[in-house]
Amino acid sequence: MDILRQVRMKYGLSDLKWIKENETFRSEYGSKRVRFWKDKQLLEWHVKWRDEISKQSGVLLDRMIRTEDGNPFFYCDKGWVTIHDEIEEPFPLARKEEDWGRLIGTILAVGLKQLDECHRLKKRKDLTLKAVHGGLKNDHDPMAKLVLERSYFEAKSRVRKAHILRDRIHPIKLPILTSLTRLTNAKQVFFHFFWVCGADEPVRSYKPIRNLLEEWFEKNGEASTIKLLNEINRYFTLKGDQGRLLLSECLLPYEYESAINELSTCNQSVDITTTVMDKFFQRWETSRNVVLLLSNWMEEDREKVVAK
Amino acid sequence: MIYNEAPQNSSIGYILFQYDLYPEKIEQFGKVKKVISRKGTFALKESTMTTEQANWFSHVMRRLEKLNYNQIIPIIPTKYGDLTISHKNRTYYLQPWFSEEDQIREEQKETTLFKQLGKLHGVTVKPQEFSKETIENSCQDLLKRWEKRRLEMEYFAEEAERKTYISPFELTYLTHYSRMDMMANVAVTYLKEWRDQCLEKESYRACLCHGKLDRNHIFYHPNGYGYLFNFERAVLDTPARDLAISFRRSFQYNLWSEDQGSDWLATYENHILLEEEEKKLFASYLMYPEIIFHCIDHYRKRDGSITELQYVQVLEKRIITMSRVDHFIHNTLLRKNSDECK
């Protein structure tokens, strides 16, 4: 049966018309998005997670709209189906640290309390620098190869520091998070923050926060990032073990791995190599700045205490 | 797509978005907004409930639905299935808007109310796990509160007596003071009897109590039924307390008579019979002259908005009510009880 017909029956919506087939449609109550889920357990985790985050933070999320029977999804031959609001108006980043901090802080607080009841956690591969470094081949651009060879020692040192930091903390408890990287997922409804969560598998790691901080830093600069950290800290303390775990994550040289992987898969043209290396330099610099900023921010209070 | 076309009040936009309501007109009635939309007309209630209270409120409404108690004005869930929305230290919830009230006779209003209260208590009543401490503590707390109030009133009486010129209000109060004080003592006696009987029986019951039910919190539908609303103060408590609250709140509408009280109680007891000790507790709540003391509080804080004569009239009306309560308790409530024992 046609999905729209089923939506009409299950949700009591009318005047339905596809904007983009099997993705978005128009209804009498605005545009909606349809999502198909193959994994029921992952879907149930997303329903619960969104409801909890939205209730605790007061931020609107693309929660599952309930059917007329009150269910958050229904089943069809393509799997489980959920309906969400489709909002287009973007939410600003500038001077909105308070709203963002509330959302991220709540996500972290809820994420840390989560039990491992979702068995669909994305498997995280540990960064094995030696293997990554082994990917550097002689047919790579000599300049790029030289830069990456030299960066290897610094990358190794970063991994070592990250491990030292992490190993000091017992027991290590990391929050369960979903992807937060696309800042463009922030929309607004009547001047209120509306976050589009997507349908990614959750991961037990600080990586999504690291990615977000780096993107935030690049777009908004140092002062705004500090403000954001202060706001997050109001809802979830980052000036302790959890902050150190975040710092440890920020130290890991993923950009080094990405650069070698990209060089290995691209066709070695000069243009592409330049693009890959430019991106590498930029990401390396950003992650260096974020690590510096984060460690200074964490030390701030300690310094104040010492100064007194 | 949602555009910010009418965002004069972004909070309202934020709330109504969660109901997919796009209003054509909004009218304000106190804490209630009448929202007229293509979907229909709704009442959006703003309340000071905390998040915790709102969760309890949602639980209560869901529980009543599960128990098939449908004499309530339903709460309309958001499109995400929530019964309430918390926003800027306020809680909001949506109900259908009812305007067509039936022209129900005045004396019939309370009968419908006590029928619904009886039903509500009847479907939710449950024996509680016996705890001596709970009984003792609630009795002691109430005794302390009553004693404090009694002393305040004694002080007011002494102060009035010391004056050279006593006001008409004070004179009225002093004339009836010793009887009110005696009623407070009788209330204490009944309360202690309730405690002793509970401890002896080693059982007590609790039910879902509305907490502030009077004719302002019931919608009289043209179909003859009454639909309860405003469960914001709902609690699990003894039925006797909730019944006493509704009795007291209903006294204010007309000069209450003993026969009316008998009718109300009989209507209520068609759905849930009060246990012997619950009748004692009910009697103690009614007998304690709180409505008189409350009147004194108002008089002490008077700001000139009502005249001395009006204060005297209110006090006198309440004193007559208390006399009738006294008769009702001894001639109907507890007499029925002692007759049964015989």
| Contact call for A72 and B81, based on CB within 8 A | yes
If you measure CA to CA, which chain A residue comes closest to B10? A190
**Residues A39 and A184 grouped into a single domain:** no
**Residues A9 and A125 grouped into a single domain:** no
Is A102 inside a domain boundary? yes
Q: Where are the domains of chain B?
A: 10-96, 106-341
For strands A60-61 and A192-195, give the pairing.
parallel
DSSP string, B201-236: HT--EEEEE-SS-SGGGEEE-TTS-EEE---TT-EE
DSSP string, B61-84: HHHHHHTT---BPPPBPPTTS-S-
What pLDDT score was predicted for residue B341? 53
* B341 interface with A at CB cutoff 8 Å: no
| Contact call for A58 and B87, based on CB within 8 A | yes
Is A265 inside a domain boundary? yes
**Residues A80 and A144 grouped into a single domain:** no
Q: Chain A partners of B13 at a C-beta cutoff of 8 Å?
A: 189-192
Q: Chain A partners of B83 at a C-beta cutoff of 8 Å?
A: none
Q: How buried is residue A155: exposed, middle or buried, by Cβ count under 10 Å (0-12/13-18/19+)?
A: buried
| Contact call for A85 and B2, based on CB within 8 A | yes
pLDDT above 70: residue B261: yes
**Residues A204 and A262 grouped into a single domain:** yes
**Residues A34 and A7 grouped into a single domain:** yes
Residues 9-38 of B with CB under 8 A from A: 10, 13-14, 17-18, 20, 22, 38
| Contact call for B2 and A72, based on CB within 8 A | no
| Contact call for B7 and A191, based on CB within 8 A | yes
Is A230 inside a domain boundary? yes
If you measure CA to CA, which chain B residue comes closest to A89? B3
- Report the distance separating Cα B10 and Cα B75, nearest Å: 23
- Report the distance separating Cα B151 and Cα B137, nearest Å: 21
Selecting from A30, A54, A58 the residue whose C-beta is nearest the C-beta of B1 gives A30
**Residues A161 and A272 grouped into a single domain:** yes
One digit per residue, the tens of pLDDT, for chain A of length 308 reads 689 999 999 999 988 999 999 999 999 999 999 999 999 999 999 999 999 999 999 999 999 999 999 999 999 988 999 999 999 999 988 889 999 999 999 999 999 988 766 666 766 667 677 777 777 776 777 777 788 888 888 998 999 999 999 999 888 889 998 887 678 899 999 999 999 988 888 988 999 999 999 999 999 999 999 999 999 999 999 999 999 999 999 999 999 888 888 887 776 677 788 888 899 999 999 999 999 999 999 988 766 555 55
Overall number of domains in chain A: 2
* Residue A42 belongs to domain with CATH number: 3.30.200.20
CB A140 within 8 A of CB A268: yes
| Contact call for B79 and A65, based on CB within 8 A | yes
Q: Which two tokens stand for residue A128?
A: 């094995």
CB B325 within 8 A of CB B287: yes
Q: Chain A partners of B2 at a C-beta cutoff of 8 Å?
A: 30, 85, 87, 89, 189-190
What pLDDT score was predicted for residue A259? 86
In terms of DSSP H, where are the helices of B132-271? 132-162, 168-201, 239-251, 258-269
Interface mutation vs chain B, best among A68, A190, A192, most B CBs within 10 Å: A190
Q: What is the ipTM of this complex?
A: 0.86
pLDDT above 90: residue B19: yes
**Residues A188 and A249 grouped into a single domain:** yes
What pLDDT score was predicted for residue A267? 65
Question: A147-153 long-range CB contacts below 8 Å, 24 or more apart?
Answer: A147/A277, A147/A280, A148/A256, A148/A259, A148/A260, A148/A263, A148/A280, A151/A253, A151/A256, A151/A284, A152/A256
Token pair 């190599």: residue = A273
CB B14 within 8 A of CB A189: yes
Q: Give the Cβ contact number of residue B51 at 10 Å.
A: 14
Q: Chain A partners of B22 at a C-beta cutoff of 8 Å?
A: 29
**Residues A73 and A110 grouped into a single domain:** no
**Residues A151 and A283 grouped into a single domain:** yes
If you measure CA to CA, which chain A residue comes closest to B7? A190
Q: Chain A partners of B20 at a C-beta cutoff of 8 Å?
A: 29-30
CB A253 within 8 A of CB A155: yes
* B74 interface with A at CB cutoff 8 Å: no
| Contact call for A30 and B2, based on CB within 8 A | yes
What pLDDT score was predicted for residue B103? 74
**Residues A102 and A246 grouped into a single domain:** yes
What pLDDT score was predicted for residue A306? 52
Domain enclosing residue A74, as ranges: 3-85
What pLDDT score was predicted for residue B99? 76
A130, containing H or E segment: helix A129-134
Selecting from A64, A65, A189 the residue whose C-beta is nearest the C-beta of B14 gives A189
> What CATH architecture does domain B10-96 belong to?
2-Layer Sandwich (3.30)
Q: Which of A15, A50, A85 lies at the terminal end of a domain, its last residue? A: A85
Which CATH code fits B106-341? 3.90.1200.10
**Residues A195 and A261 grouped into a single domain:** yes
* Residue A158 belongs to domain with CATH number: 3.90.1200.10
| Contact call for B14 and A31, based on CB within 8 A | no
Q: Give the Cβ contact number of residue A189 at 10 Å.
A: 22
**Residues A40 and A102 grouped into a single domain:** no
User: At CA B336, angle to CA B331 and CA B338, rounded to 5?
Assistant: 100
* B1 interface with A at CB cutoff 8 Å: yes
Q: Which of A85, A112, A145 lies at the terminal end of a domain, its last residue? A: A85
- Over the range B160-173, which residues count as b (16 or more CB within 10 Å of their CB) and which as e? beeeeeeeebbebb
* B77 interface with A at CB cutoff 8 Å: yes
